[in-house]
Amino acid sequence: MKSLRQPSTEQLKKLATRISDEVFNKIHSSKTTIFLCGASKEKKDSKREKIANALTGGWYSFHYDILYPEDLFDELMMGPSQQDLMSMENILAESVDAIVLVPESPGAFAELGAFVTNEALREKLICVQDIKYKKKKSFINYALRLIKKSKKGEIVYINFTEELGETDSLRKAISKMRRSSSKVVNIVNVIQTESFVLSSIYLLEPVLRELLVTLVMLASEANEKKAKIATTAALSILMKKKMIQLTPDGYQLTQAGIKRFLELGKHGKSKSYFDLEALDQMRIDILSWKYRDKVLTVS
């Protein structure tokens, strides 16, 4: 790629602000963010997968953005951001509207124990229990009694032997959580940075890591260290999900990444939370800067 005319800090600030205002904020203020825990995707007859398929099927899919522990925790605790468990729990409490947990595996049992003892997480916890275990003595039912006693969190009983095409009780619990949600929208929240970085790559691809860090820093007004940590973690998560690829010229979206970006904006089958025509015009302006040596203009 040829050497580009470098945009001024003011131009990059305008670009970062537009991405934040017109894409990032609209995604996180419009979508209900759900952290879904249970057995791994590989487990046969995973109840969590049944729940995920029920929530993302049909018209309701446009309202939910579902996150999974395996896509986040390993990278954020072992990767460049190096979050400890307590920090991760606090970040999670700030980042989501609801935590939906299906106690069906040793990992999910441990998560249930951690969530019910953390007041901020318990307020957002929805435990989905198989109705056949409702009256059995177990550690799980002891933990559920803590939820009932504290009057924080929700318990939903579902008959998993039947098809989960209808999950009205779960949707109602999620809606209740959303109405009282204390979710904080923050670009340098390492869970949320992913959508800002994804949007930036959509507009600028191919784009170098250094420019992405600058945009995160300018949009969030965080210091360079925080912006670098958040951006690096987001890139690692997106690479793990195979939504981006690194080329000699910088990061680009894969087909999965393009699909993810468009799904984040969906508001019904034919509507979007953000103005795709305006974003396409931004892409044209950016292409003119990159390949025709024009000044980067962002209105």
Q: What pLDDT does residue 34 have?
A: 93
> Where does CATH 3.40.50.11530 sit in the chain?
32-179
Rounded to whole angstroms, how far apart are CA atoms 298 and 174? 38
Q: How far from 295 is each of 8, 10, 204, CA to CA, in Å? A: 9, 12, 15
Fold of domain 9-27+186-291: Arc Repressor Mutant, subunit A (1.10.10)
> Where does CATH 1.10.10 sit in the chain?
9-27+186-291
Q: What pLDDT does residue 60 have?
A: 64
Q: What is the pLDDT along the chain (299 residues), one digit of tens a residue?
A: 455 567 778 888 989 998 999 899 988 888 899 999 888 777 777 888 888 888 887 666 678 889 888 877 666 655 555 555 566 777 888 889 999 999 888 788 888 888 888 888 888 999 998 888 787 776 777 778 878 877 788 889 888 776 555 578 898 999 999 998 888 889 998 889 999 999 999 999 999 999 999 999 999 999 999 899 899 989 998 998 999 999 999 999 999 999 999 888 877 666 777 788 888 888 888 887 776 666 666 65
CB within 8 A of 62, min separation 6: which ones? 266, 267, 268, 269
Q: What pLDDT does residue 45 have?
A: 79
Instruction: Indicate if the alpha-carbon torsion angle 138, 142, 148, 151 is positive or negative.
Output: negative
Rounded to whole angstroms, how far apart are CA atoms 101 and 169? 14
For 32-179, the fitting CATH number among 1.20.58.220, 3.40.50.720, 3.40.50.11530, 1.25.40.320 is 3.40.50.11530
Q: What pLDDT does residue 1 have?
A: 47
Q: How far from 70 is each of 66, 146, 192, 257, CA to CA, in Å? A: 12, 26, 16, 18
Q: What pLDDT does residue 180 have?
A: 87
pTM of the model: 0.83
Rounded to whole angstroms, how far apart are CA atoms 160 and 41? 17
* In contact, 80 and 236? CB cutoff 8 Å: yes
How many other CB atoms are there within 10 angstroms of residue 119's CB atom? 11
